[in-house]
Amino acid sequence: MASDRPTRSRSGALCRQLLLTLTILTFACDACKKVTLHVPSKLDAGKFVGRVNLKECFQSANLIHSSDPDFQILEDGSVYTTNAILLSSEERKFTILLSNTDNQEEEKILVLLQHQTKVLKKRHSREKVLRRAKRRWAPIPCSMQENSLGPFPLFLQQIQSDTAQNYTIFYSIRGPGVDREPINLFYVERDTGNLFCTRPVDREQYESFELIAFATTPDGYTPELPLPLVIRIEDENDNYPIFTETTYIFTVPENCRVGSTVGQVCATDKDEPDTMHTRLKYSIIEQLPASATLFSMHPTTGVITTSSSQLDRELIDKYQLKIKVQDMDGQYFGLQTTSTCIINVEDVNDNLPTFTRTSYVTSVEENRVDVEILRVTVEDKDLINTANWRANYTILKGNENGNFKIVTDPRTNEGVLYVVKPLNYEERQQVNLQIGVVNEAPYSKEASSRSVMSTATVTVNVKNQDEGPECSPAVQTVQIRENAPPGTKSDGYKAYDPETKSSSGIRYKKLTDPKGWVTVDENSGSITTFRSLDRETETIRGGAYNITILASGKDGRTCTGTLGIILEDVNDNGPVIPKQTVVICKTVMSSADISAVDPDDPINGPPFDFSLESVPDAGIERMWKLTKINDTAARLFYKNDLPFGPYQVPVRVRDRHGLSVVTPLKVIVCDCVTENDCALRTDPRTGNGEVRLGKWAILAILLGIALLFCILFTLVCGATGTAKQPKAFPDDLAQQNLIVSNTEAPGDDKMCSTNGFTTHTVGSSAQGICGTLGSGVKNGGQETIEMVKGGHQTLESCRGTGHHHTLDSCRGGHVETDTCRYTYSEWHNFTQPRLGEESIRGHTLVKN
């Protein structure tokens, strides 16, 4: 009996489950499909329940309706609660109605909401049936709600192997969330295979978990392969959309057209992309100042555009918008965030500068220049210190003579009128100007009947001024004959009063007179010559002599002018030959060209007549001949075959009026090719010249001298080395040394023998070399020869400075100097017979 009760209770439960299923199927017999959602027993308002695939039943639905007002269905099938719900029973259901108003079609979807505890009971009751029905060891789709409220541990699903019918199977899992971060998030019951979650999961941190499930026997046998198990985290709308900037700043020009783009705002949402949770909608909440609506925002892109063309910077230069972004496509239960957008209205040149007055009156004294006479002001509503505000002034009329200019004061934007060219009261007493003004930037609006330039008139009154005398023209001339006698009078410089046009009352004074030739009358300005005037003076150019005159009026005002004295030429200079030395290179030419000049005016100058001036007993005509080349030049030929050398040839040159001058020419007949060759020679007649060395010749000489010094140094070094070699004193001194002794006394020359003999001159600063034999000293016309006796010794060199030498002892032997001193007579008596014998012997050898 006891064993039948559990069987009977299980049969009753199974019957009740079948009846409930039959009831649901009967209710949903006309539904497109049935969807079951597992939810906790308590749901808050606005809570995401789950998602239903609507397109499987009806793709063209434009109206979605829920039969239960506590639930709302969005376009993507997301199900949200509209009110807080407490599931008193284990199950709740409602229907989703899909319809198309165009073709009147409808479809229904049945949604079942089940509590988690009921799900567990159903799964336990179906375990045995499913074990027998099909194989369970296969990948099973699994998901859990983000930020689930539990209760925890939260059952997710059961994994089961068919081999559990024959073996005892232990289940285990590995992977992220189990033995890797986040550790211990999931676990599985070893005996049942039930998979649980221990705590809520944030989808923005973990979108899914890929686990590996294992089925093993107690002894370690694995009848199944490792099973991949993916747990997907269902997104919940738990992240607010966030603007990329806390404050947006944009600029838009005033008076822009409707629809002009101001800027674009952007926001991000960390929830799952491509869902209602991240479908954002932008909008403008508030505009400050709260005038007419001037801006609009695209709900999807966040682009802000102008909705009115009445933006006027001169009225309002800045607007502030409060903007909002909301997810869930902007539905009231979506999450939202606000930000601030500041829009600055940029200035354009839509306001013309206008004069504050239409006419101005000013005055200025005549003859004033670079003086400010007037300032004009303008009004401009555009932005200060910009090109739209800065003014450009111009003179439109009345300035044909260029007396005025108008510029802009950059600090005040005023127009400043200047006089840049002096005005003359006697010519014009009043000047009328028309001035205009525009901006630096071009006017933005279309010019219609209204002119784009503001104008004003300026009346300038010219004041009279006592100007003093006027020196006009500034340069005046008078003519005086050259060489006029001192005291010659002539008209001078004349100045006048510009008002009376008279010269009375004007006094004159000479400022400059380079030569001091004239004096100036103080009252009339006439001039008187003080010295004779010479037109051919070097300082006079073009026959004009200039002096400067100062003219002063009664009030002390002055002016200056220049008086040019034109000197009339007199034929007082004969033609001369400037080049008075002529070279004729006899080898290449037989003549030379000569030319003459006349400092007088051309009317007293060429053509010239050239002739040879006769000199008694000189034979000029016999040796030379002149031929005319042109009006100012002639050619001089030599006759016969003149020898080289200089010649004096007098040549007379006459101008057109017969005035002549004799010029003595020095003609050099030279053996040369060019005149420069002859200039280097001292005797052109013979061709002998001084020798001049060039830089290369000097360098060659220096190099030769350096080479000779090198050779001499080599020889001295060789002789020194030879002297330092050890020498042996022979026994037969006379037979090994030939000494010239046929003189009464030896000369001053130092003689070095091959045996080391060295003679020294007393009083000489020469350096001697002491050999192994000794040295001789000349004393009073008699030479003393010192010989050193001893072994084969080596002596160091010593230096003599005109005194007797003492030889130091050498290494290994004693040098005797006292016993080896002989007079010249003794040395002569010793060597003479032997030299005679050697001479006879040598003579005999020669004969043989």
Q: Which residue bears the tokens 């009231």? A: 332
Is the model more confident about 211 or about 448? 211
Among 683-697, 739-753, 801-815, top mean pLDDT goes to 683-697
Is the model more confident about 245 or about 757? 245
Minimum mean pLDDT among 421-425, 500-504, 597-601: which range? 500-504
DSSP string spanning 27-54? HTTTSSEEEEEEE-SEE-TT-EEEE--G
Given pLDDT bands bounded at 50, 70 and 90, which one contains residue 433?
very high
Is the model more confident about 649 or about 727? 649
Say whether 715 sits in a helix, a strand or coil.
Answer: helix
Give dist(CA 466, CA 473) in Å, integer: 20
- pLDDT, one tens digit per residue, over 258-291 is 999 999 999 999 999 999 999 999 999 999 998 8
Q: Is the pLDDT of residue 690 over 90?
A: no
What is the predicted pLDDT for the residue at 182?
A: 94
Q: Is the pLDDT of residue 162 over 50?
A: yes
- In sequence order, the 6+-apart residues with CB closer than 8 A to the CB of 792 are 726, 727, 728, 729, 772
What is the predicted pLDDT for the residue at 230?
A: 94
What is the predicted pLDDT for the residue at 253?
A: 94
When pLDDT is averaged across residues 443-447 and rounded to a whole number, the result is 69
Q: Is the pLDDT of residue 66 over 60?
A: yes
- Start-to-end CA span in the chain (Å): 181
What is the predicted pLDDT for the residue at 269?
A: 95
Cα dihedral sign, 479-485-488-492: positive
What is the predicted pLDDT for the residue at 474?
A: 84
Among 508-512, 739-743, 811-815, top mean pLDDT goes to 508-512
What is the predicted pLDDT for the residue at 54?
A: 78
The first and second tokens of residue 728, run together, are: 């042996």
Given pLDDT bands bounded at 50, 70 and 90, which one contains residue 450?
low
Is the model more confident about 770 or about 526? 526
What are the two backbone dihedrals, phi and then psi, of residue 329, each rounded to the nearest 5 degrees? 60, 30
Residues 727 and 755 sit within 8 Å (Cβ to Cβ): yes
Given pLDDT bands bounded at 50, 70 and 90, which one contains residue 473?
confident
What is the predicted pLDDT for the residue at 295?
A: 95
Is the model more confident about 453 or about 466? 453
When pLDDT is averaged across residues 217-224 and rounded to a whole number, the result is 90
Q: Which residue bears the tokens 């991949």? A: 228
Q: Which residue bears the tokens 């809520």? A: 200
DSSP string spanning 75-120? TT-EEEESS-EE--SSEEEEEEEEEETTTTEEEEEEEEEEEHHHHH
- In sequence order, the 6+-apart residues with CB closer than 8 A to the CB of 352 are 380, 438, 439, 443, 452, 453, 454
Given pLDDT bands bounded at 50, 70 and 90, which one contains residue 538?
low
When pLDDT is averaged across residues 755-773 and rounded to a whole number, the result is 35
The third-level CATH classification (topology) of the domain covering 475-568 is Immunoglobulin-like (2.60.40)
When pLDDT is averaged across residues 834-841 and rounded to a whole number, the result is 49
Q: What would the 3-class secondary structure string for 150-209 be?
A: CCCCEEEEECCCHHHHCCCCEEEEECECCCECCCCCEEECCCCCEEEECCCCCCCCCCEE
Q: Give the closest residue to 206 by CA, choosing from 269, 139, 270.
A: 270
What are the two backbone dihedrals, phi and then psi, of residue 551, each rounded to the nearest 5 degrees? -110, 130
What is the predicted pLDDT for the residue at 831?
A: 59
Q: Is the pLDDT of residue 172 over 90?
A: yes
Give dist(CA 717, CA 8) in Å, integer: 145
When pLDDT is averaged across residues 508-529 and rounded to a whole number, the result is 86
Q: Is the pLDDT of residue 807 over 80?
A: no
What are the two backbone dihedrals, phi and then psi, of residue 709, each rounded to the nearest 5 degrees? -60, -40
Residues 511 and 549 sit within 8 Å (Cβ to Cβ): yes
Q: Give the closest residue to 270 by CA, choosing from 299, 241, 246, 245.
A: 241
Residue ranges of the domains in the chain?
35-115, 142-232, 242-346, 354-463, 475-568, 581-670
Q: Is the pLDDT of residue 383 over 70?
A: yes
DSSP category for residue 445: S
The third-level CATH classification (topology) of the domain covering 581-670 is Immunoglobulin-like (2.60.40)
Q: Which homologous superfamily is 242-346 in?
A: Cadherins (2.60.40.60)
The first and second tokens of residue 117, run together, are: 């505890």
Predicted TM-score (pTM) of the model is 0.46
Give dist(CA 76, CA 80) in Å, integer: 12
Minimum mean pLDDT among 416-425, 577-586, 615-624, 667-676: which range? 615-624
Minimum mean pLDDT among 175-179, 450-454, 551-555, 568-572: which range? 450-454
Give dist(CA 137, CA 135) in Å, integer: 6
Q: Do domains 242-346 and 354-463 have the same CATH topology?
A: yes
Among 129-143, 369-383, 681-695, top mean pLDDT goes to 369-383
When pLDDT is averaged across residues 58-69 and rounded to a whole number, the result is 78
Give dist(CA 389, CA 378) in Å, integer: 10
The amino acid sitting at 288 is: L
**Mean of all residue pLDDT scores within the chain:** 77
Helix H or strand E segment including 619: none
Q: Is the pLDDT of residue 616 over 90?
A: no
Burial class from Cβ neighbours inside 10 Å (0-12, 13-18, 19+) for residue 80 reads: buried
The CATH architecture annotation of domain 354-463 reads Sandwich (2.60)
Domain 35-115 has CATH 2.60.40.60: yes
Q: Is the pLDDT of residue 125 over 60?
A: no
When pLDDT is averaged across residues 774-803 and rounded to a whole number, the result is 37
When pLDDT is averaged across residues 618-638 and rounded to a whole number, the result is 85
What is the predicted pLDDT for the residue at 673?
A: 82
When pLDDT is averaged across residues 70-85 and rounded to a whole number, the result is 84
- pLDDT, one tens digit per residue, over 718-760 is 776 555 554 444 444 344 444 444 444 444 444 333 333 333 3
Rounded alpha-carbon distances, angstroms, from residue 741 to 149, 449, 833: 148, 142, 12
What is the predicted pLDDT for the residue at 498?
A: 75
The first and second tokens of residue 494, run together, are: 């004349």
Give dist(CA 812, CA 809) in Å, integer: 8
Percentage of the chain beyond pLDDT 70 is 74
What is the predicted pLDDT for the residue at 829?
A: 63
What are the two backbone dihedrals, phi and then psi, of residue 598, each rounded to the nearest 5 degrees? -130, 115
Q: Is the pLDDT of residue 44 over 90?
A: no
Give dist(CA 29, CA 708) in Å, integer: 139
Given pLDDT bands bounded at 50, 70 and 90, which one contains residue 408?
very high
When pLDDT is averaged across residues 333-355 and rounded to a whole number, the result is 94
Give dist(CA 527, CA 519) in Å, integer: 5
Given pLDDT bands bounded at 50, 70 and 90, which one contains residue 803?
very low
Minimum mean pLDDT among 86-100, 258-272, 582-596, 758-772: which range? 758-772
Among 97-111, 117-131, 455-469, 536-550, top mean pLDDT goes to 455-469
The CATH architecture annotation of domain 142-232 reads Sandwich (2.60)
Please list, residue by residue across 732-748, b when 16 or more beta carbons sit within 10 angstroms of its beta carbon and e when fewer do.
ebbeebebeeeeeebee
What is the predicted pLDDT for the residue at 836?
A: 52
What are the two backbone dihedrals, phi and then psi, of residue 129, each rounded to the nearest 5 degrees? -65, -45
Integer-rounded Cα radius of gyration of the chain = 68
Residues 684 and 644 sit within 8 Å (Cβ to Cβ): yes
